[in-house]
Chains A and B, each alone.
Chain A
């Protein structure tokens, strides 16, 4: 009779890493559907292709390191990375762009550090920034949302998307790309905000056309994750608050030099995706709740600074990477007060 000899505790909660990752994937579905409504089916093609590449890369690295491949692929983390990266890049970016991005993310961003849990930088964002810097053309060619340009009958369907992404349609994307709302606002030097709203097709109800709904749905997905206690509110909320704070501070009522309203910032670009899916990446953020608040606020602040005064219209990726970089340092100074210890000291 052999009894197990293991340390306590003997009981274990039913949640496991794979289920956490799966939940994250589920929660992204509403946002993805919304994006596909506005921008067409390219996003699906991208997501599938990205997942394939991610799994391939992960398997390759694991093989090289002599690890059990199955065990690691099953944790779904590579898929989460791939999906988030695929969502972040323009729906009709060529396949090789996505391939390079995902490979960079999975191999250099993640596995060179020892794989899941060890990477200091958010792999998806590493992939995104590498692409943005290396292939700015492909990475800034966002299609126009549905019903914005007059001569555009419909957004591309799956077949169109396949043709566009895999390069069988020459120069196809260029035809219907258009600057994103954040870009428009950034480049604007003359018009007041209200005029922008009237004159530019990019603007919708309270933020960018299409983008506002996508953000909304990502926020809904995020709240579901919050409800399922996949992460705590600290990082995302403090990020949104910081962003809102700076936006309100510099809004100046909507002049031509205005940086845009808090509403506009919250529902433009990748704000909500960032707040609930990227800022919350547990691996690369600060660890304590206090630390996560500082971390979130740092991201919100950097986001606003770069959006307004930097070269990049949206800056989720950069702000997240910068905050990743600061995370260990934040951790060093935000250790929670242990039971029985005095405040602020050891």
Chain B
């Protein structure tokens, strides 16, 4: 039982890493990784939102849509749930911690449009997770996202002083680096 759950976590964090293997949440991954500090803030926010959204959408699906036979409405209701969770978080953060809001500022709304959030909700349904699994999967996905985001940010800080050819500066080399990272992550294949 415990083993299953830890495998689920390892799977979500490493083997099927959301960003590098499943291609979810790439926009913030590329956009918020220029600075380590910011990346850490973003990680925290995403972890929070992702876990919460995962739970909320699971509840919505199991207790509202499924009994009423409205599963085809899942996309729109999930996105609604997520949008509200994010918007609400943003308002709270803006008020309670301007510093954090400064760091996350433009990116909090971007979390809504972060594929990872909707993706995790949908994958939970596809893979028929139960409540606990959904929560864990959401959390694991977020940790996986945070892990690569933070490592990537540290790496980009290093790249920013490298003598990269002019045309590759910025996003291009970022993409290629992400590619090599994804290459490295292929090494985790088969762990679960």
Contact = CB atoms under 8 A, between A and B. Distances in A.
A322 B13 CA distance: 14
A249 interface: no
B26 interface: no
A310 B184 contact: no
A322 B187 contact: yes
The CB with the most chain B CB atoms within 10 A, among A113, A306, A331, is that of A113
Interface in A144-201: none
B91 interface: no
Interface in A94-139: 108-109, 111-115, 118, 120-121, 126, 129-130, 133
The CB with the most chain A CB atoms within 10 A, among B158, B176, B187, B191, is that of B187
A56 B135 CA distance: 53
A326 B152 CA distance: 8
Contacts of A111: 165
A18 B174 CA distance: 30
A311 B187 CA distance: 8
A268 interface: no
Interface in A291-320: 302, 305-306, 309-312, 315, 317-319
Given A120-B177, A121-B180, A113 B187 contact: no
Interface in B139-171: 150-151, 154-155, 157-159, 162-165, 168
A136 to B, nearest CB: 12
A306 B176 CA distance: 24
A321 interface: yes
Contacts of A327: 155
Given A112-B164, A120-B155, A325-B151, A310 B189 contact: yes
A30 interface: no
A118 B191 contact: no
Contacts of B157: 328
A113 B162 contact: yes
Contact of A312 (B164, B181, B183, B187): B187
A292 to B, nearest CB: 16
A228 interface: no
Interface in A189-228: none
B173 interface: yes
A26 interface: no
B151 A118 contact: no
A296 B90 CA distance: 41
B191 A114 contact: no
- Majority secondary structure of chain A interface residues (helix, strand, loop or mixed): helix
A321 B180 contact: yes
Contact of B190 (A112, A120, A311): A311
Nearest to B36: A332
Nearest to A330: B154
Contacts of B189: 310-312
B163 A129 contact: no
A24 B168 CA distance: 31
B154 A310 contact: no
Interface string B81-109: 00000000000000000000000000000
Contact of B151 (A129, A310, A326): A326
Nearest to B177: A120
Interface of A: 65, 108-109, 111-115, 118, 120-121, 126, 129-130, 133, 302, 305-306, 309-312, 315, 317-319, 321-322, 324-329, 331-332
Given A310-B189, A328-B157, 7 more contacts: A113-B164, A113-B173, A114-B163, A121-B180, A129-B187, A302-B187, A321-B183
30 contacts: A65-B165, A113-B164, A114-B162, A118-B164, A120-B155, A120-B159, A120-B177, A120-B180, A121-B177, A129-B183, A129-B186, A130-B183, A133-B186, A302-B187, A306-B188, A310-B189, A312-B190, A317-B187, A318-B186, A321-B183, A322-B184, A322-B187, A325-B155, A325-B180, A327-B155, A328-B154, A329-B36, A329-B154, A329-B155, A331-B158
- Enumerate the 9 nearest inter-chain pairs by beta-carbon distance, A residue then B residue, closest first: A318-B187, A311-B190, A114-B163, A321-B184, A118-B162, A328-B154, A329-B154, A328-B158, A114-B162
